[in-house]
């Protein structure tokens, strides 16, 4: 059961103390307080965990300080959608709104290699009016002898470059709790020129200790990739770990699943799940066409199949596109085969706009149809 409190009740309000004490005395029930950071103010919610079936919803709703009560109707208590759930979705970070209505392109380097390439990449983004990027410093590699990423040593020059080019948010994969501290330190040392969304890669979707560590902090939002060999339900439960620890600023990323049935693509593209995740949860949904498709192949109609996959995700309502670009893909240290070039960026952005317009037209069409 979720108790949505009166917006007037701040975290140091006496009424909140009283309410928590009262709820704590209910038999077989544990009360957990969550602060939800909205664009205007911080709201409080209380989660009642345990044997809540016997509780009378109206009685709980009548308690002082309680605005509304929701009965939890899905496993995903915090991030899920429940019956009559009117709660909003998404969050604001670095002045940018991330929710199930917005769309942001995060084009950038799979792996940071040289300061020149980082600079060229960010200049190309800025020329397109883009404020977000992806930059890999810590790379989880299949082969221990492959390039593992520059790690903490590249962070200062990556963040400084972001500041110079007006890039506000970088999606950056972390594979260990320590990386969070290294990123925090590098941001402090460079005067916080940008923000970072912590990316959890597909190999770490169920690294529960990493999820708990990222969930215990609220400074950085998290982009959680779907696990490539587990069910969608298991991956959404992994997202719920972040929220259950206190961080509900989570974006869920579809990146294909591992099976030969996807051949000749690197993974089987799963963007038909965009609307599924949006209806089951309140998370914004990202697509990663690069790691799904994994190659540059032009289709018979002259369009790269990577762009076809991107359009499929966007026309289904995706809220974010994470995509690999590189100034010189043949020299890229990781995933050069799937990287688009900087010259292709304007075309990519325009193609995404077309797919987005088509999505908006589809939404309008179906709304009109349902009203008539
Ligand atoms: C990446 O985005 O760089 C990456 C390694 O992706 P994934 O975890 O989906 O393989
Ligand atoms: Mn990659």
- 248-257 confidence digits (pLDDT tens): 999 999 999 9
pLDDT at 94 over 90: yes
Q: What is the mean pLDDT of residues 190-199?
A: 98
pLDDT-based confidence at residue 39 (cuts at 50, 70, 90): low
pLDDT-based confidence at residue 53 (cuts at 50, 70, 90): confident
At 206, list the tokens: 């169920």
Q: Where in the chain is the domain with CATH 3.20.20.70?
A: 92-371
Ligand 1 contacts CB of residue 226 (under 6 A) = no
CA gap 141, 244 in Å, rounded: 29
pLDDT-based confidence at residue 11 (cuts at 50, 70, 90): confident
CATH code for 2-71? 3.30.70
Using one digit for the tens of pLDDT, what is the confidence trace for 100-139? 999 999 999 999 999 999 999 999 999 999 999 999 999 9
**Class of CATH domain 92-371:** alpha beta
Q: What is the mean pLDDT of residues 209-220?
A: 97
Compute, in angstroms, the gap from residue 11 CA to the centroid of ligand 2. Answer: 42
pLDDT at 189 over 70: yes
Instruction: Give yes or no for a contact between 217 and 183, defined as CB atoms under 8 angstroms apart.
Output: no
Of 108, 110, 147, the one to substitute when testing ligand 1's pocket (max ligand atoms within 8 A of C-beta) is 110
Neighbours of ion ligand 2 (CB under 5 A): 110, 335
The pLDDT of residue 38 is 67
pLDDT at 83 over 80: yes
Q: What is the mean pLDDT of residues 310-317?
A: 98
Ligand 1 contacts CB of residue 110 (under 6 A) = yes
Query: What is the residue-averaged pLDDT of the chain?
Result: 95
pLDDT at 239 over 80: yes
Alpha helices in the chain (DSSP H): 14-24, 57-61, 115-127, 155-165, 177-189, 208-216, 232-244, 274-280, 289-293, 305-315, 345-371
- Helix and strand numbers, DSSP H then E, in the chain: 11, 14
Q: Where in the chain is the domain with CATH 3.30.70?
A: 2-71
CA gap 91, 284 in Å, rounded: 9
Atom index in ligand 1 nearest the CA of residue 202 equals 8
Ligand 1 contacts CB of residue 235 (under 6 A) = no
Nearest CA to ligand 1 atom 3: 110
Residue 208's alpha-carbon distances to 52, 115, 237, in angstroms, are: 27, 34, 11
Calculate helix-pair angle for 305-315, 345-371, nearest 10 degrees.
Answer: 30
Q: What is the mean pLDDT of residues 226-245?
A: 97
Nearest CA to ligand 1 atom 5: 201
pLDDT at 88 over 90: no
Compute, in angstroms, the gap from residue 287 CA to the centroid of ligand 2. Answer: 14
The pLDDT of residue 113 is 98
Using one digit for the tens of pLDDT, what is the confidence trace for 59-81? 999 999 999 999 988 889 999 99
Using one digit for the tens of pLDDT, what is the confidence trace for 333-370? 999 999 999 999 999 999 999 999 999 999 999 999 99
């Amino acid at each position: 059961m979720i108790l949505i409190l009166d917006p007037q009740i701040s975290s140091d309000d006496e009424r909140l103390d009283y309410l928590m004490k009262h709820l704590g005395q209910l038999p077989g029930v544990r009360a957990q307080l969550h602060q939800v950071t909205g664009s205007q103010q911080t709201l409080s919610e209380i989660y009642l965990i345990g044997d809540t079936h016997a509780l009378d919803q109206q009685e709980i709703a009548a308690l002082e300080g309680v605005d509304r009560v929701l009965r939890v109707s899905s496993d995903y208590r915090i991030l899920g959608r429940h019956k009559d759930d009117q709660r909003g979705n998404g969050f604001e970070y670095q002045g940018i709104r991330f929710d199930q209505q917005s769309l942001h392109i995060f084009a950038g380097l799979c792996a940071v290699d040289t300061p020149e390439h980082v600079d060229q990449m960010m200049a190309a983004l800025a020329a397109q009016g883009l404020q977000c990027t992806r930059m890999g410093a810590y790379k989880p590699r299949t082969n221990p002898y492959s390039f593992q990423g520059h790690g903490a040593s590249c962070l200062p020059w990556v963040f400084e470059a972001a500041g110079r080019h007006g890039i506000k948010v970088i999606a950056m994969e972390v594979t260990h709790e320590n990386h969070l501290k290294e990123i925090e330190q590098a941001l402090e040392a460079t005067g916080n020129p940008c923000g970072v969304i912590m990316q959890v890669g597909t190999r770490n979707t169920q690294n529960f200790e990493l999820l708990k560590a990222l969930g215990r902090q609220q400074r950085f939002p998290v982009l959680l990739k779907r696990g490539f060999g587990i069910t969608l339900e298991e991956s959404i439960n992994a997202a719920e770990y972040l929220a259950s620890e206190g961080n509900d600023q989570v974006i869920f990323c579809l990146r294909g699943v591992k099976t030969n049935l996807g051949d000749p693509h690197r993974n089987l593209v799963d963007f038909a799940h965009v609307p599924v995740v949006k209806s089951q949860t309140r998370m914004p949904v990202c697509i990663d066409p690069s790691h799904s498709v994994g190659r540059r192949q032009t289709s018979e109609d002259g369009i790269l199949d990577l762009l076809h996959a991107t359009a499929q995700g966007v026309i289904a309502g995706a809220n974010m596109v994470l995509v690999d670009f590189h100034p010189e893909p043949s020299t890229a240290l990781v995933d050069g085969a799937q990287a688009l070039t900087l010259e292709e960026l304007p075309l990519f952005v325009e193609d995404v706009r077309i797919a987005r317009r088509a999505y908006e037209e589809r939404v309008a069409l179906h709304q009109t149809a349902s009203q008539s």
